[in-house]
Structure 1
Amino acid sequence: MSFYTSLSGLKNAQVDLGVISHNIANVETYGFKQSSTQFSDIVVGSAFSNPKLTQGIGASVEAIVQNFKLGPIEQTGAALDVAIAGDGFFSTVSAASGNTLYTRNGSFQMDANGFIHDGSDNRLQVFPTDTAGNVTSTTPVSAQVPQTNGAGSEFVSVTVEENGNVNAGYADGSVEVIGKIALASFTTPTGLKQVGSSNWQSSGLSGPANMGEPGAGLFGGLRSGSLERSNVDIAEELVSLITAQRNFQANAKAIDTATQIGQTVINLRT
């Protein structure tokens, strides 16, 4: 019994080490959120068991929980680098698969067709607006900057306001609002499914996305020319790493001790 109890401890410590290593590896990843491992004990008994003599048989991983606290904001100066100063996620749609993704990494760029997208060609979603920036539909669409305006002037610049308005500037000096960035929130963000590249997908645990405008209600305003860094605290992770290593060593020592006891019993019988 003691072998399997300690073996469960070894496996749990290994999982904990993997989660901590993943956090440390992504300390420089924009929009990354730290994860932590939660454990639960395993106790087995029957209706006829004496509760005073119930013995545990180890532990198991109960959950790997993400921490969505705000990371430090770094100024970059790039017009399409956008950080959310508060709650919310950017909504993007994959140009290849059409899947909707959510992210805190606001590092965007523009392609030859005027679509604003991230490094994986996931297109930023915006609410359609009129020329004054008033939202005309609550159904998000892919942000696309026209390469010329109605007068035929060429596109020269793009800016993002705190309220989410995406402004396109043209050679004749005119400025047009092409949409307002749509933000998403979730009832249980810790239930979001990680898919890599600082992206998440909704799941049955997170609930569906609730869309809204930056700076309205629970949604934070936007900071153009800035990016949100990883929220991993490297000092905290190093302390956790040492603790996980000690847990691994302690369980390994318990297995070694059980082996020695078993060998002693065998020697007595022989």
Structure 2
Amino acid sequence: MSFYTSLNGLKNAQTDLGVISNNIANAETNGFKKSTVAFSDIVAGSAFTNPKLLIGIGATVEAINQNFKQGPVEQTGNALDLVVNGDGFFTTRSAITGDTLYTRNGAFEIDENGYLLRGGNRLQVFPTDPAGAVTGTALQSVQVPAVNAAGAQFAGVAVGKNGVITASYADGNNTAIGMVALATFISPGGLRQEGAANWSATGISGAATYGQPDEGFYGGITSGALERSNVDLSEEMVGLITAQRNFQANAKAIDTATQISQTIINLRT
């Protein structure tokens, strides 16, 4: 039994090493959220077993939990680099598949058609009137007009703390083109990681609840900055050393069990 118990420990230590390695690899990934492994013990017994004689047979991975603590903010000076100072997620939608994804990485840009996007996924906003007042709750992709009603050329874009996106034109006029829609979840730990600092909703996370920036726990918007990974390298290095020692200890236990078995075999011969 000791062989299988120690082998189980080796596999668990390997899982822990894999998760820590992924955290370290993404220490410089904007919007990345680190994960930790939770273990639980395994016992062998029945309802009729004396509780004082229950034997532990190792551990199992109970969950790999995501930590959504906000990461440090880095100033960039780019008007379309956005940070959510709260619990909200940016909502994006793929123009190809229509899939809705959520992210904390606010490194947006304007494509040739005037859409604000990140990684090919278009930023979703609440519609507004030219003054910035919300006119509806149905989300839509935000598109910057190349010219305004007077025929003036597009000159730049700005995003306020309240999430209102304002386009500026060569004639000096400004027009609101939407308000950033933020999403929150009753259980964000249940979000599915999709890569590229994107998440999708699941039955565990619950459906997204949308709200306006700078209201309640959604958080305000900071323009000209990006949220960095919340990975603490010092903490991860300590965890890496601990996981390595756990791996070595289980390997040593297997080696010891092998020596004991060999001794018993030698006695019989």
The question of a shared fold, defined as TM-score above 0.5 by the shorter chain, is answered with yes
State how 1:149-228 maps to structure 2 within 5 Å.
149-228=148-227
Residues 85-104 of structure 1 show CA distances to partners (whole Å, capped at 9, x for unaligned) of 11100000011211000000
CA distance in structure 2 between the aligned counterparts of 1:238 and 1:113, rounded to whole angstroms: 45
CA distance in structure 2 between the aligned counterparts of 1:43 and 1:205, rounded to whole angstroms: 28
**Which ranges of structure 2 fall in alignment gaps of 5 or more residues?**
none
Residue 3 of structure 2 is matched in structure 1 by 3
Residue 27 of structure 1 is matched in structure 2 by 27
CA distance in structure 2 between the aligned counterparts of 1:48 and 1:85, rounded to whole angstroms: 55
Residues 51-76 of structure 1 show CA distances to partners (whole Å, capped at 9, x for unaligned) of 11000111000000000001000000
AA matched with 2:257 = A
Residues 230-256 of structure 1 show CA distances to partners (whole Å, capped at 9, x for unaligned) of 000000000000000000000000000
TM-score normalised over the length of structure 1: 0.99
CA distance in structure 2 between the aligned counterparts of 1:25 and 1:7, rounded to whole angstroms: 27
**Which ranges of structure 1 fall in alignment gaps of 5 or more residues?**
none
Shift of 1:11: 0.1
AA matched with 2:135 = T
Matched residue of 2:107: which SS? coil
State how 1:13-24 maps to structure 2 within 5 Å.
13-24=13-24
Residue 103 of structure 1 is matched in structure 2 by 103
CA distance in structure 2 between the aligned counterparts of 1:268 and 1:96, rounded to whole angstroms: 71
Aligned residues: 269
* C-alpha RMSD of the superposition: 0.6
State how 1:7-86 maps to structure 2 within 5 Å.
7-86=7-86
Shift of 1:29: 0.2
Residues 86-132 of structure 1 show CA distances to partners (whole Å, capped at 9, x for unaligned) of 110000001121100000000000001100000x2100000000111
TM-score normalised over the length of structure 2: 0.99
AA matched with 1:249 = Q
What percentage of residue pairs aligned between the two structures are identical?
65
Structure 1 residue 124 corresponds to structure 2 residue 137: no
Shift of 1:44: 2.1
CA distance in structure 1 between the aligned counterparts of 2:108 and 2:99, rounded to whole angstroms: 18
**Dislocated runs of 4+, deviation >4 Å:** none
CA distance in structure 1 between the aligned counterparts of 2:179 and 2:47, rounded to whole angstroms: 61
